[in-house]
Structure 1
Amino acid sequence: MLHSIITSKTRIKLLLKFFLNTRTKSYLRHLEQEFGESSNAIRVELNRLEAAGLLTAEMSGNRKYFSANTAHPLFDDINSILKKFVGIDQIIERITSKVGDLEAAFITGDFAKGRDSQIIDLVLTGENLDRKYIHKLVEKAENMIGRKIRYLVLTAEQMVEVFKDKPRLLIWKADLDEEGEKRDEQ
């Protein structure tokens, strides 16, 4: 669907790279290696996105690093569209409801690095989560979004230990209200 609206595959890759994980920063030559495309095609799209204010740039040595402009008025909308394109919104909706005492949900792997992939790595943290139910929901979500979902269930402590130095993207977190009751936050 997104390919029919945005015809430049390079632009889609750049939007996915920078808008799914807002901490992502990269420079032209690294993007050239990662995407396997010519530096000219990538440069043209980076310049267009920067001119539109969607990307910011900063110099470090002789490299110009780009990142998403989270202050742009369309940032939230673009981020939401990309999550829908990837299927993260369906994963959040399906898996975070009714699985037990879920504390948080993270995307790891390629998507946390800002790379498109046919496999979504999902980590759920919490105590006493219903793993059979999670597996059933994951299968349904996979059928809806047309991507494979690898998931892992960990405690919050295990999450910190296992993913201490690895990219992770928080996509959902349970929040406590003033009375100490759990309320959902996205």
Structure 2
Amino acid sequence: MLDSLITSKTRIKLLCKFFLNPEARSYLRELADEFGESTNAVRVELNRLEKAGLLASETEGRTKVFSANTQHTLFPEIHNLVRKTLGIDQLVERVLSRIGNLHMAFITGDYARGVDSGILDLVLVGDIDWNYLQRLVSTAEEILKRKIRVLVLRTDEVEHMKDALRLDKALVVWTAEGQKGS
């Protein structure tokens, strides 16, 4: 959907990277390597987004590090647009409701870093109905046109798996308190 609104694939990748996970910080060469694009193509789009005020930057030594400008008035709308485009909101509604005693849901891996790799890594914490989950995931994969890998953990397992799953870099998409992650 974004590609019909925004013709630059590099700009779409940057918006996904920074607006899906607002804590993400990257520099030019790192982004060029991650996207498999030339530094010039990435530089042009970074400069455009920074000039528009959508990205903020700071210099660390000789490196200019970019991040989403969360203070920009359009930040919440772009954040939601990227989430909807990637299908995360549909996933939350279809897969996480009526699934069992769910405490929390995270997205890890590429999507948590803002990279649309086509594989969505989902970590669910709680006591889950596996049969129901498998049916929902199958349906969601057809709708989203993405592979969904699911890991279910008990609450006591989360602390032990935190480092291996890099949950410090994960995107919280749902909590038992009924609040979606930012």
Task: Name the residue aligned to 1:58.
Answer: 58
Match of 2:176 among 166, 174, 177: 174
Unaligned runs of 5+ in 2: none
Q: Give the distance between the partners of 1:170 and 1:9, measured in 2 at CA.
A: 26
Q: Tell me the TM-score normalized by structure 2.
A: 0.93
2:158 counterpart of 1:159: yes
| CA positional deviation for 1:4 | 0.9
Match of 2:84 in 1: 84
Amino acid at match of 2:21: N
Q: Does 1:95 align with 2:95?
A: yes
- Equivalent residue letter for 2:175: K
Q: What is the alpha-carbon distance in structure 1 between the residues aligned to residue 179 and residue 32 of structure 2?
A: 37
1:72 aligns with 2:72: yes
1:160 is displaced (CA, Å) by 2.8
Distance in 1 separating the partners of 2:71 and 2:21 = 14
Picking from 159, 179, 182, the partner of 1:185 is 179
> SS of the counterpart of 1:151?
strand
Equivalent residue, structure 2, for 1:142: 141
Say which is worse superposed, 158-167 or 86-95, in terms of deviation: 158-167
Alignment identity in percent?
54
The 2-side partners of 1:2 and 1:24 are apart by 20
Q: Distance in 1 between matches of 2:2 and 2:155?
A: 35
137-146 vs 163-172, which moves further? 163-172
Q: TM-score, normalised by structure 1?
A: 0.91
The RMSD of aligned alpha carbons is: 1.1
Residue deviations 1:74-112 (CA, integer Å, cap 9, x gap)? 111111111111111111001221011111110001111
Counterpart Cα distance in 1 of 2:21 and 2:162:
16
SS of match in other structure, 1:82: helix
Instruction: Determine helix, strand or coil for the equivalent of 1:137.
Output: helix
**What amino acid does structure 2 have at the position aligned with 1:13?**
K
Pairwise CA distance, 1:163? 2.8
**AA partner of residue 179 (structure 2):** E
Query: Gaps spanning 5+ residues in structure 1: where?
Result: 176-183
The alpha carbon displacement at 1:161 in A equals 2.1
Structure 1 consecutive aligned stretches of length 4 or more whose deviation exceeds 2 Å: none
Deviation, 1:142, is 0.7
Q: Secondary structure at the match of 2:151?
A: strand
CA–CA separation in structure 1 for the residues paired with 2:49 and 2:156: 39
Q: State the number of aligned residues.
A: 177
Q: Which amino acid aligns with 1:76?
A: P
Distance in structure 2 (CA, Å) of the matches to 1:28 and 1:120: 25
Q: CA deviation at 1:159?
A: 2.3
Q: Answer 1 or 2: which has greater helix percent.
A: 2
3-state DSSP of counterpart to 2:64: strand
* Displacement of 1:37: 1.1
2:23 is aligned to 23
